[in-house]
Chains A and B, each alone.
Chain A
Amino acid sequence: MFNETIYLDNAASTRLDEAVLEAMKPYFFDAYAVATSEFGYSMGIDAKEGLERSRKVIASRLGAQAGEIVFTSGSTESSNMAIKGVLSALKGKKDDHLIVSRLEDFPVLNTAKKLDKQGYKVDFINVDGEGILDLDMFSDAITSQTALVSIQQANQEIGTLQDLKGISDICQDKDVLLHTDATHSFTRIPLDVSKLPVDLVTVSAHTIHGPRGIGALYIREGTPIDKWMDGGFQESDRRAGVENIPAAVGFAKAVELVTSEENERLAAMRGRVIERAMADIPHVTLNGSATSRLPQNANMTFHYVEGESITLHLDMLGFAVSTGSACFSRSLEASHVILGIGGDHERAHGSLRFSFGRFNTIEDSDAIIDALKDVVTNLRAISPLAEDN
């Protein structure tokens, strides 16, 4: 039914790669037992081997040891676990001060907001017009009582990359633990925890053509962290619940399938979308950084028109994209990211995010701008704001 759809919302989720499904199948139909100890029965031992092999693949992509990877149900759980687990472990030792950026995705942002309400001290650090963290303000915010810093590696909406090296150096200097949400950057942008002093990293499978419902948290050995979901002793007693082995195997396969050539291909597609939109459509603003940006992400505001109207027209023409307009969101709130980089509601209202994946081609970039040109022109023709068009 959606064969013809040009899907450019890969930041929301991606189509599963067939090779991932093939890798997962044996763990549904053959070695489907739970992971047993080495003295268990053979089907469980095989299942366990699949799980541990997958752990190694993910660890090695991060420059970590296998024992430092904990599988979770996804990014949301990983980030909750990182923040709540560390604060719980440090309670009474460091005075419960947390630092995050204003642009964090909801798992970190809303965890921080809730902790703020519960009496923790939380600082939300500002970013500049491109979404890059103010390192001076950040550094000044750290006190001897700061328990944890959580700053994303790349932004979910505007694709801005943070200076993780600069941030982690500051944290190391001031002896503060650092968590980074790498949901959108994992395998797309290098991150090597053997070189960067990052203590916790959130990663996810479904943004890279892996299955939904599986993610992982890297926890540097020795990091104080409490278990926050009680239950069994799985994942070396760090995360309770029967392991999702088929999904873990699928996650590992998805990681193996991402190559640097693919990332270059994605960068070319998003480059084309930006370049053509700027050349062919008047009154367009690029949101985020022109240079320090995820390869798969473009985000632009088409002024004087509203995003949901654009996306509905595009949907009827066979394109799937998303917008930061309040009218499109479940919460009816304008994008906190566009507002966070100093944009007003008008800028959020007409913003579109184009996010590319493995199954897109450079022709998709041309096709969507060709369609968008007419859609924007027609909507501006009826807009009371577009006087001079």
Chain B
Amino acid sequence: MTFPYTKEVLEHFRNPQNVGKMEDPDGKGLEGSPACGDMVAVYLKVDPDTLVIEDISFESYGCASNIATASMITEMAKGKTLEEAKTITWKEAANALGGLPPVKAHCSVLAVEGLRSAIRDYEEKHGMVVENEATTVEVVSKRLKHVMNPMAGLDIIRTELVLKVVVEEGTVRIVLDIPSTHQFAAAIKEDIVDKLESLWDVESVTVDYIS
């Protein structure tokens, strides 16, 4: 019997650790979207004095590598401080799992992003973020690196799906290198709006297509 994953991945897939929705989490992150494919939610309980992650859990609407990575990364983050947990990379999680198929990278990267976005959520809620930096093309592009191109399994910046970014007085306009009739057009748009509309000085986000 030959399964498509390592035995560590299969073990975490079969018996995922730290699963379930958490009541009253101190921090919460949600990455991905059902329209676009996989989705993962990460919940944190943090000791306010030491900033140590005391409890962590996740939910996944995803494939095996998504579930296994979320299980592994929540194990790795538990007991660490927020600063330490922030530095856990996808590569470290993938290595701990004995490797992941490259084509499945984006499904598992989501789990890492879920953890980071839960930490950011905690920091924002607890006044630990000095934001008010004005939104620029660079800020927008950085956020767009978290929007996946489902055709490639990589983000839309790296796969050059973004033709143009315009930031003007509280409005952001993105032009994508796909036609509006493309099967992923609506899903990618939804994901972009989701990532950008939370920026403090952005009032509206529009997404256009080449045709």
Interface residues of chain A, those whose CB is within 8 Å of chain B, are: 1, 304-306, 308-309, 312-313, 315-316, 325-328, 332-334, 336, 339, 344-346, 349, 381-385
Contact = CB atoms under 8 A, between A and B. Distances in A.
Contact of A382 (B16, B34, B150): B16
A384 B39 CA distance: 8
B35 A344 contact: yes
Interface string B110-150: 00000000000000000000000000000000000000001
Nearest to B62: A306
A384 B114 CA distance: 12
A309 B35 CA distance: 17
Contacts of B5: 312
Interface in B1-56: 1, 3-5, 10, 13-14, 16, 19-21, 30, 34-41
Given A333-B183, A383-B60, A384-B41, A327 B107 contact: yes
A334 B183 contact: yes
Contacts of A306: 38, 61-63, 66
B67 interface: yes
Contacts of B19: 381-382
A242 B104 CA distance: 42
B210 interface: no
B36 A325 contact: no
Nearest to B4: A312
B172 interface: no
For the complex of A and B, 7 pairs with smallest distance between CB atoms:
A327-B63, A384-B59, A308-B63, A384-B41, A382-B19, A383-B61, A346-B34
A333 B151 contact: yes
Interface of B: 1, 3-5, 10, 13-14, 16, 19-21, 30, 34-41, 58-64, 66-67, 103-104, 107, 150-153, 183, 187
A189 to B, nearest CB: 30
A381 B60 CA distance: 9
Given A304-B61, A309-B67, A385-B61, A349 B30 contact: no
Given A308-B64, A327-B63, A384-B40, A316 B16 contact: no
Contacts of A332: 103, 150-153
Contacts of B183: 333-334, 336, 339
Contacts of A333: 150-151, 183
18 contacts: A1-B1, A308-B64, A309-B62, A309-B64, A312-B13, A327-B107, A328-B63, A332-B151, A332-B153, A333-B151, A334-B183, A345-B187, A382-B59, A383-B59, A384-B39, A384-B61, A385-B34, A385-B61
Contacts of B151: 332-333
Contacts of A312: 3-5, 13, 63-64
A272 to B, nearest CB: 27
Contacts of A339: 183
Contacts of B36: 345
Contact of A384 (B30, B67, B107): B30
Contacts of A315: 3
A385 B62 CA distance: 11
A312 B103 CA distance: 16
A330 to B, nearest CB: 9
Nearest to B114: A384
B61 A305 contact: yes
Contacts of B35: 344-346
B56 to A, nearest CB: 14
A374 to B, nearest CB: 12
Nearest to A334: B183
A345 B39 CA distance: 12
Contacts of A328: 63
Contacts of A383: 59-61
